[in-house]
Amino acid sequence: MATDTQTSTSRASGASAVRRLLLDNGALTALIVLVIVMSALSGDFLTTDNLLNIGVQAAVTAILAFGVTFVIVSAGIDLSVGSVAALSATVLAWTATSQGVPVWIAVILAIATGIACGLVNGVLISYGKLPPFIATLAMLSVGRGLSLVISQGSPIPFPDSISHLGDTLGGWLPVPVLVMVVMGLITAVILGRTYIGRSMYAIGGNEEAARLSGLRVKKQKLAIYALSGLFAAAAGIVLASRLSSAQPQAAQGYELDAIAAVVIGGASLAGGTGKASGTLIGALILAVLRNGLNLLSVSAFWQQVVIGVVIALAVLLDTVRRKAGATPVAAGAGTPGGKGKQAATYVIAAVVAAAVVGAMSFLHTGSSSSTTQKVGLSLSTLNNPFFVQIKAGAQQEAKKLGADLTVTDAQNDASQQANQLQNFTSSGVGSIIVNPVDSDAAGPAVRSANKADIPVVGVDRGVNKADTAALVASDNVAGGKLGAQALAEKLGGKGKIVILQGLAGTSASRERGAGFAEGLKAYPGIQVVARQPADFDRTKGLDVMTNLLQAHPDIQGVFAENDEMALGAIKALGSKAGKSVSVIGFDGTPDGLKAVQAGTLYASVAQQPKELGRIAVENALKAAEGKKVEETVKVPVKVVTKENVAGFGG
C-alpha cells in the first residue's frame, strides 16, 4: 500500500509539474493546442515528413528570431534582419560565383557582412544615440538596396557546395533543422550563461541601473546588434541554400515574423524578459499555422487573417496569464488567486482552440471525397489582377472537370513558395501547378515533388533545374518586342519615352524589358530618357511617373512593364494621357482593357491569364493520369488597341 501511495503522489506531482509548465508558458500551450487541432483536421499533418517540413519552414524565421531575441531582451528592436539576411546571402553568392573567391572565404565574408551591418546599427544606437527603431529601419533600406546593387537585381545561383546546407543529413534530417537547433542552443547558452547574455537582461530591465553597476552598456549594445547581424547572416545562408539561389528580394518582411516569434515566445518589447525556448516555440507556431492552413486548403486570403488572429491570441494568452498573477516564486499553490489565474488561462486556451477550430472548419473549402483529383496551385502573388485572373481560369476549369483545386499565395516570396510546394507534396496531391516567384529558386522544391512522382506544371514562368511536365506561358520577350513596335509606330519612329520597370529581380521584368529593348533597336529615333522601377504596383507607378514628369516634362511615350503601373502613370499624366503622351501597358487586365477602351491607355500587350490558368489545370490533370502532354504550351500574346479591344472583354 505504501508504494501505491507513493506512486500516486509522484504521479500527481508530475501532472502538476506539467500543468505548471503549461501555465507558465502560454506559447507552449498555444502550440500544443494548434498541433492537436491540426492533427484532428488533417490526416496529413501528423506525419514524420510533414513535421520535418515544419521544422525546415520554421528554420529561417527561428534563426532570425534568435538574433532578434538578444536585441529585444535588451529593450531594443532590430528591423533590419530580413534585409541583412538577403545581403549576406547575396554577398556569398556573388563573391563565390562572379568573383571566383573560394567558397569558405565567401562564407566568412557573408558572416562578416552580417556582423558589420549589426555593428553599424550598434554604433548608430550607442554612440549616435539614434532610437533603435530608426537606426535599424535605415539599415533595412540600406541592406536591401546594397543587395540589389551587388546582384544587379537578378538572383545569383548559389554555389553547389553550400547548397547542400538545404539538403538532408543521412537521408532524413534536414540540415536547416539542424542549424536551427544548434543556433537555438547557442542562443540559450549566450542568454543564460554568458556575461553578455546576463547583461542583456540587466540593460533591458533598467539601463541606468546596469550602467551604475559597472556594465559597459554601450559596448554591450554594439555586441548585441552584431550578434543579431551574425544570426541574420546565418539565416540568409540557410534560406539561399534551400532555394539554391541568392535572391536580392528574399526575406522581405521577415523581420516582422521574427519579432512576432520572439513576442509570442513570451518576451516583452519593453525588454528584460525572453528566452531561446520561447522564441523557438513562437517560430514553430507560425510555421505550424502556415503549414496546416496549406494542408487544409484554406483560402489564401483567409490564411493571412487567421495568422494575424492567432498571433494576437497567442500573445493575449500570455498577457492574461501574467496579469492574473505576477507569480512570486514561492507562492503557495491553491490560493484563491492562483485558481483564478488557472481558470483565466484555461478560458483563453479554450477560446484559442475554439477560434482555430471554428475558423478551420469554416474556411476548409476542400471537399474530402477521395475520388476527385487533387491539384495544388501555388501562385507567386494574388496582389495583382493578372494572377487573380489565372486563379479564376484555373478554378473554372477545375470545377468543370470535377477536380479539387487548392490555391496558395506566395506573396512574392520564393521561400514561402518553397514551403507551400513542400506542403503540397507532403499532403499527396495528384499534381502541382506552380507560378514561380523565381525560376531558379523554385527548383529545389519542384525537385522534391519530382522525387515523389508528382507531376509539376509551370504556368507563366518556367522552373530551372527541375522537371516540369509542361510549361504554360505567354512569351514575355515576344510581348516586349510587340510593345516596342506598337509604341514606336504610334510615335512615328521618333520621340522621348520613359520605361516603368517591374519588381527588380523578377523574370517578368527582366524578360519584358529585354524584349522591349530588342524591339526598339529597329527604331533609332526613339530615345529612352529614363528607366525607373515601380515594382508592378499602381501607386508606385503614379509616384514614379509624377517624379519623372518633373525631370522630363516633354516625353511622348511611356512603356510600363505591366498594366497596373501603366494605370498609375496615366493618373500622373492626367489629361496628357492618350493625347500628347501614349502609354503602353502589359498583361491585358480588365482594368487595363477598360482604359484602352476609354482611350487613356494606348495599348496593352495582352496575355490571356484566364487561358493560362485553364490550360495549366487541363495539362496538370492529364499529366496526373499519366497521359502525354506537350512540353511547352504557348498561349498567344496580342497587342490590344482601341480597334480590337471589343474582342477581348473579360
Partner 1 sequence: MSNQDELLRIEGIRKTFPGVVALDSVDFDLRRGEVHVLLGENGAGKSTLIKMLSGAYHPDAGRVLVDGEEVRIHGAQDSERLGIATIYQEFNLVPDLTVAENIFLGRQPRRFGMIDRKAMEADAAELLRRVGVNVSPRARVRELGIARLQMVEIAKALSLRARVLIMDEPTAVLTSEEVEKLFAIVRALREDGVGVVFITHHLEEIAALGDRVTVIRDGKSVGQVPASTPEDELVRLMVGRSIEQQYPRVRPVSGDGTGDGAAADSALLTVEGLTRDGVFHDVSFEVRAGEVVGIAGLVGAGRTEVARAVFGADPYDKGAVKVAGAALRRHDVNAAMEAGIGLVPEDRKGQGLVLDASVEENLGLVTLRSATHGGLVDLKGQRTAAARIAGQLGVRMAGLGQHVRTLSGGNQQKVVIGKWLLAETRVLILDEPTRGIDVGAKVEIYQLVNELTAAGAAVLMISSDLPEVLGMSDRVLVMAQGRIAGELSADEATQDSVMALAVSTPTTDSDSETAVEGSRGH
Which residues, 257 to 286, sit near partner 1 by CB under 8 A?
272-273
Q: Which of 522, 547, 541 is nearest to 595 (CA)?
A: 541
Say how many Å lie between the first and final Cα of the chain, rounded.
Answer: 81
Q: Please report how close the Cβ of residue 78 comes to partner 1 at its closest, in angstroms.
A: 21
Q: Please report how close the Cβ of residue 86 comes to partner 1 at its closest, in angstroms.
A: 31
Take residue 149 and report the three cell numbers written for it.
546593387
Counting contacts by CB under 8 A, is residue 127 touching partner 1? no
Name residue, grid cell 523565381: 438
Nearer to partner 1, 298 or 324 (CB): 324
- Identity of the amino acid at 462: G
Residue from 62, 68, 75, 215 binding partner 1 (CB under 8 A): 215
Q: Please report how close the Cβ of residue 591 comes to partner 1 at its closest, in angstroms.
A: 44
Q: Please report how close the Cβ of residue 263 comes to partner 1 at its closest, in angstroms.
A: 16
Residue from 171, 214, 524, 649 binding partner 1 (CB under 8 A): 214
> What are the φ/ψ torsions at residue 6 (nearest 5 degrees)?
-60, -45
Q: Which of 248, 239, 262, 216 is nearest to 77 (CA)?
A: 262
Nearer to partner 1, 272 or 462 (CB): 272
Q: Please report how close the Cβ of residue 207 comes to partner 1 at its closest, in angstroms.
A: 9
Nearer to partner 1, 23 or 488 (CB): 23
By rule CB under 8 A, what string of x and - marks binding of each residue 311-350 to partner 1?
A: --------------xxxxxxxx--xxxx--x---------
- Identity of the amino acid at 178: L
Take residue 304 and report the three cell numbers written for it.
493571412
Counting contacts by CB under 8 A, is residue 212 touching partner 1? yes
How many residues of this chain interact with partner 1, rule: CB under 8 A? 36
Q: Please report how close the Cβ of residue 209 comes to partner 1 at its closest, in angstroms.
A: 5
Take residue 529 and report the three cell numbers written for it.
530618357
Q: At what angle do helices 276-295 and 48-73 cross, to 10 degrees?
A: 140
By rule CB under 8 A, what string of x and - marks binding of each residue 134-173 to partner 1?
A: ----------------------------------------
Q: Which of 541, 546, 543, 575 is nearest to 561 (CA)?
A: 541
Take residue 128 and report the three cell numbers written for it.
549616435
Nearer to partner 1, 197 or 282 (CB): 197
Torsion (CA) 273, 277, 283, 284 in degrees, nearest 10: -140
Counting contacts by CB under 8 A, is residue 416 touching partner 1? no
Q: Among 1-9, 189-197, 347-355, 568-576, which window interacts with partner 1 (CB under 8 A)?
A: 189-197
**Residues sharing a CB contact under 8 Å with residue 217, sequence separation 6 or more, in sequence order:** 126, 203, 207, 210, 211
Q: Please report how close the Cβ of residue 223 comes to partner 1 at its closest, in angstroms.
A: 12
Q: Please report how close the Cβ of residue 66 comes to partner 1 at its closest, in angstroms.
A: 18
Counting contacts by CB under 8 A, is residue 198 touching partner 1? yes
Nearer to partner 1, 9 or 335 (CB): 335
Q: How far apart are CA 549 and CA 478, in angstroms?
A: 29
Q: Please report how close the Cβ of residue 352 comes to partner 1 at its closest, in angstroms.
A: 23
Q: Which of 289, 316, 342 is nearest to 31 (CA)?
A: 289
Q: How far apart are CA 288 and CA 161, in angstroms?
A: 30
Counting contacts by CB under 8 A, is residue 195 touching partner 1? yes
81, 228 Cβ separation under 8 angstroms: yes
- Identity of the amino acid at 446: V
Q: Please report how close the Cβ of residue 438 comes to partner 1 at its closest, in angstroms.
A: 41
Q: Please report how close the Cβ of residue 206 comes to partner 1 at its closest, in angstroms.
A: 4
Q: How far apart are CA 433 and CA 435, in angstroms?
A: 7
567, 592 Cβ separation under 8 angstroms: yes
Q: Among 12-20, 194-202, 258-266, 456-464, which window interacts with partner 1 (CB under 8 A)?
A: 194-202
Nearer to partner 1, 174 or 274 (CB): 274
Which residues, 70 to 109, sit near partner 1 by CB under 8 A?
none
Nearer to partner 1, 2 or 329 (CB): 329
The total of other beta-carbon atoms located within 10 Å of residue 191's CB is 22
Q: How far apart are CA 327 and CA 490, in angstroms?
A: 76
Nearer to partner 1, 32 or 196 (CB): 196
Q: Please report how close the Cβ of residue 265 comes to partner 1 at its closest, in angstroms.
A: 17
Q: Among 139-147, 168-176, 188-196, 604-612, which window interacts with partner 1 (CB under 8 A)?
A: 188-196
Q: Please report how close the Cβ of residue 185 comes to partner 1 at its closest, in angstroms.
A: 14
Q: How far apart are CA 284 and CA 261, in angstroms?
A: 8
Counting contacts by CB under 8 A, is residue 366 touching partner 1? no
**Residues sharing a CB contact under 8 Å with residue 582, sequence separation 6 or more, in sequence order:** 487, 490, 491, 556, 557, 558, 602
Pairing label, strands 156-157, 245-246? antiparallel
Residue from 158, 201, 225, 231 binding partner 1 (CB under 8 A): 201
Q: Please report how close the Cβ of residue 311 comes to partner 1 at its closest, in angstroms.
A: 24
Secondary structure, 3-state, 82-102: HHHHHHHHHHHHHHHHHCCCC
91 CB-contact burial (10 Å; exposed 0-12 / middle 13-18 / buried 19+): buried
Q: Among 89-97, 199-207, 494-502, 628-636, which window interacts with partner 1 (CB under 8 A)?
A: 199-207
Torsion (CA) 96, 97, 98, 101 in degrees, nearest 10: 30
Nearer to partner 1, 210 or 499 (CB): 210
Q: Please report how close the Cβ of residue 588 comes to partner 1 at its closest, in angstroms.
A: 53
Counting contacts by CB under 8 A, is residue 208 touching partner 1? yes
Query: Within 13 Å, how many C-alpha atoms sit on residue 101's CB side?
Result: 16
Q: Among 211-219, 256-264, 393-401, 464-472, which window interacts with partner 1 (CB under 8 A)?
A: 211-219
DSSP 534: -
Nearer to partner 1, 1 or 326 (CB): 326
Q: Among 203-211, 438-446, 463-471, 517-525, which window interacts with partner 1 (CB under 8 A)?
A: 203-211
Name residue, grid cell 560565383: 97
DSSP readout, 244-264?
TEE-TTTTTTHHHHHHHHHHH
Residue from 6, 7, 194, 539 binding partner 1 (CB under 8 A): 194
Residue from 193, 524, 575, 650 binding partner 1 (CB under 8 A): 193
Name residue, grid cell 477560434: 355
Nearer to partner 1, 133 or 195 (CB): 195
Q: Please report how close the Cβ of residue 324 comes to partner 1 at its closest, in angstroms.
A: 8
Which residues of this protein are in contact with partner 1, per CB under 8 A?
A: 189, 192-195, 197-199, 201-202, 205-206, 208-216, 272-273, 325-332, 335-338, 341
